[in-house]
Amino acid sequence: MLKRIALTLLLFFHFIAFSQQSEISLVSWNIRDFGKTKNNEELNAIADIVRDVDILAIQEVVAGFGGAQAVAKLTDILNRKGAKWDYVISNPTNSPKFVSERYAFIWKTHRIKIKNRGWLISELDSLIDREPFLLHFYMDGKQFTVVDFHSRPYNKDPESEIKALSKFVIDSLKTPVLIAGDFNVDEKMPVFNTLKKSGFQPTITNQKTTLKWTCERADYLNYAIDNIFYSKDIHKVGGRVIDFVRFCEELEKARKLSDHLPVFLRFKI
């Protein structure tokens, strides 16, 4: 009887361990002005926030000098925290003057593999100011695609960009897809209906992701505009906003990292 119980428990814990190994965690983060303005202390704080995830998708990497260097420095810091990481950085987006940025992905190499270095979606550069960055990832031979996206500001018609991106993703990408980014639009708005009708779901709902300048009555959050949309062939295990502020007294220090909170998704393919 005891042997049977022991075997049952062993199989149970083996199943739990295998199940957790098959899960992938992704963080999407608009790290404001991510470049030479970030010092080593701030980069270390960013690394501590994301060190336990498998993939980090970054928006707002500085296009000029300092952006690529900051991504490399962050990866080096992560490499000294217990796991091996690699990274890719996009070319500067084909954008109007003072709008161009880069995107970046950083991932744990023992779990996640790539076969190319990704590319900016040139088909969208006439429709989207900062055309998205696409990269195919692989885990245990299974392929999935992450699209990194930063839309125009809310007052410059981000809706038209979201419509163009939605059409491209639905028409052109046949793998499991995640769209990670700063949409500058709340996921409840009708512009996302095309994605939702095609089976895409948002990771978070009714959760604000941007930081105010000041804390008012213990409220330091502003707008619900960051998210990760995932296709119907991806199973969501859990998702949330990573609130690294927590207390009003920490708001000023937190804003030195970014004026956006990261969005976290754990999923299976």
**160's tokens:** 């038209």
**50's tokens:** 């994301």
Residue 177 in domain: yes
Residues in the chain: 269
Contact present, 109 and 79 (Cβ < 8 Å): no
Note the maximum CA span of the chain.
74
Q: Which domain holds residue 204?
A: 22-268
Residue 152 in domain: yes
Residue 80 in domain: yes
Residue 64 in domain: yes
C-alpha 224/C-alpha 210 separation (Å) is 7
Contact present, 234 and 268 (Cβ < 8 Å): yes
Q: Distance of CA 235 to CAs 91, 168, 202, 203, Å?
A: 31, 22, 12, 11
**170's tokens:** 């639905």
> Higher pLDDT residue, 70 or 6?
70
pLDDT tens across 75-130, in order?
999 999 999 999 999 999 999 888 999 999 999 999 999 999 999 999 999 999 99
Residue 2 in domain: no
Residue 16 in domain: no
CATH number of the CATH domain containing 124: 3.60.10.10
pTM of model > 0.85: yes
The Cβ-side half-sphere exposure at 40, using a 13 Å CA radius, reads: 2
Residue 3 in domain: no
Q: Given this model, what pLDDT does residue 119 score?
A: 98
Residue 17 in domain: no
Residues 6+ away with beta carbon under 8 Å from 106: 50, 55, 56, 58, 71, 74, 75, 78, 85, 86, 87
Confidence of residue 232 (pLDDT cuts 50, 70, 90): very high
- CA proximity to 105, closest of 160, 61, 49, 164: 61
Contact present, 181 and 132 (Cβ < 8 Å): yes
If one counts the domains in the chain, the total is 1
pLDDT tens across 144-200, in order?
999 999 999 999 999 999 999 999 999 999 999 999 999 999 999 999 999 999 999
